[in-house]
């Protein structure tokens, strides 16, 4: 399939049930995910995948309902754009959320089998198939984790760093990522955002800085969001989701999209990247030179909290600006407790008005894009593209 034919599917990659510390049964999680309009979820209970069979069975039943003749009696599924709309069948509402969900190639919800490795030195989402565990998390230590991560990746697992800059010891032992940086060579993705109201979180701002620093050091990681979903919809606040570029919404196709780096985190909007007028997947390689970039913005799964205003291009590949309508700068992100920069390199950036094309010269390195609302808070954080 040509790369331009891939669609972006909304997914939630970080979910919990009563099989660990969640408040929902696996069936309830699947039902609530269908209501939200996800194309797929990853089941990531703490150190167990025991909920997978029940969740998959419920998703299969929903797929049968949404595709049977009863649905036609209520109209086409694309018409269900009101979250309060409720067609009761098996206690589930097919309240699909707008264009993003209507574009999925199947009415069923994909369930990705996984686990959240929950350890003293960090939490890692491990998405994998098969009956056996990808690794024994009880044996993880700082000095041996790289080997376990490498072995899991060789088995086909997709590893994602979860809430990497959340408060750690003594407030939340293990919640902050403290494994050796070298392990990221075996990871596919990184939660740049997590939890409720992700656009207004100090921990997420630090996670974005850490992510950019890892890109500067040559690690290739997809930018994703993790709601860290524990409670039903009635307790939900503002949430984002991960969009993954894939041929379809099957678990394996979505994992392949993460491996390619074709993903972005977004809140209330969706987007597609165009380079010199051609649709370009995130994670792709492009040639150096003077290039024109545009992010075409569409609707998301929840209301957008602010009008999209600023389109930011940043990275080590950003060079001479031809046009920067809002501003350009060089950013050394933050400092550690010794006053040294957190990142190993400077990150050039240029801000443009949303809707206009950005033109600048790119050189070897990485380049990624962000969208900010009228309130100055982020609405989108994308995985990079790479300049040869």
Higher pLDDT, 80 or 137: 137
Question: pLDDT tens digits for 94-109?
Answer: 333 334 344 433 457 9
- If pLDDT is split at 50, 70 and 90, which confidence band does 326 have? low
- Give the mean pLDDT of 152-178: 93
Distance CA 358, CA 44 (A): 39
Listing DSSP states for 177-218 in one string gives --S-GGGGGG--EEEEEESSSGGG-HHHHHHHHHHHHHHHTT
Looking at residue 348, its pLDDT comes to: 83
Distance CA 240, CA 268 (A): 7
- Please determine, looking at this structure, whether the domain spanning 3-387 carries the CATH number 3.10.110.10: no
* Token pair for 324: 């920067």
pLDDT at 328 over 90: no
Mean per-residue pLDDT of the chain: 83
pLDDT at 367 over 90: yes
Q: If DSSP codes are grouped into helix, strand and coil, which group holds residue 317?
A: coil
Domain boundaries, the chain: 3-387
Give this prediction's pTM.
0.86
* Token pair for 122: 């960090």
- Which of the residue ranges 64-73, 168-177, 231-240 has the most confident prediction, judged by mean pLDDT? 168-177
Question: pLDDT tens digits for 47-86?
Answer: 999 999 999 999 999 887 554 333 333 233 322 223 222 2
**Helix, strand, coil percent values for the chain (each to nearest 5):** 25, 35, 45
Collect all residues with Cβ–Cβ distance below 8 Å to 377 and sequence separation of at least 6.
Answer: 199, 200, 305, 306
pLDDT at 229 over 60: yes
Higher pLDDT, 67 or 240: 240
- Give the mean pLDDT of 109-130: 94
């Amino acid at each position: 399939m040509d790369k331009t034919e891939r669609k972006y599917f909304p997914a939630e990659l970080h979910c919990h049930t009563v099989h660990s510390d969640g408040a929902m049964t696996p069936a309830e999680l699947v039902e609530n995910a269908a209501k939200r309009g996800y194309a797929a979820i990853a089941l990531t209970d703490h150190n167990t995948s025991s909920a997978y069979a029940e969740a998959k069975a419920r998703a299969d039943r929903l797929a049968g309902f949404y595709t049977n003749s009863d649905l036609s009696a209520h109209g086409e599924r694309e018409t269900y754009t009101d979250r309060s709309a409720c067609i009761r069948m098996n206690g589930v509402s097919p309240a699909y959320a707008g264009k993003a969900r209507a574009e999925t190639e199947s009415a069923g919800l994909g369930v990705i089998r996984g686990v959240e490795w929950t350890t003293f030195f960090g939490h890692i989402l491990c998405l994998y198939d098969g009956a056996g565990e990808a690794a024994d998390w009880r044996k993880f230590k700082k000095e041996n984790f790289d080997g376990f991560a490498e072995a899991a990746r060789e088995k086909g697992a997709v590893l994602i760093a979860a809430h990497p800059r959340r408060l750690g010891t003594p407030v939340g032992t293990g919640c902050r990522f403290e494994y050796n940086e070298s392990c990221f060579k075996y990871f596919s993705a990184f939660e740049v955002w997590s939890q409720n109201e992700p656009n207004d979180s100090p921990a997420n701002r630090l996670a974005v800085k850490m992510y950019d620093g890892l890109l500067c050091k040559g690690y290739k990681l997809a930018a994703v969001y993790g709601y860290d979903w524990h409670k039903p919809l009635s307790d939900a606040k503002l949430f984002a989701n991960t969009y993954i570029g894939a041929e379809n919404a099957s678990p394996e196709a979505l994992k392949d999209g993460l491996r390619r780096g074709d993903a972005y985190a977004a809140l209330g909007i969706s987007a597609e990247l165009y380079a010199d007028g051609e649709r370009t997947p995130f994670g792709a390689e492009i040639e150096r030179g003077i290039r024109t970039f545009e992010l075409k913005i569409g609707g998301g799964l929840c209301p957008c909290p602010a009008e999209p205003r600023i389109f930011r291009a940043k990275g080590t590949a950003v060079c001479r600006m031809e046009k920067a309508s809002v501003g350009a700068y060089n950013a050394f992100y933050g400092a550690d407790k010794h006053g040294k920069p957190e990142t190993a390199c400077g990150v050039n950036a240029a801000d443009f008005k949303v809707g206009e094309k950005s033109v600048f010269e790119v050189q070897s390195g990485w380049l990624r894009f962000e969208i900010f609302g009228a309130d100055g808070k982020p609405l989108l954080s994308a995985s990079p593209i790479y300049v040869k």
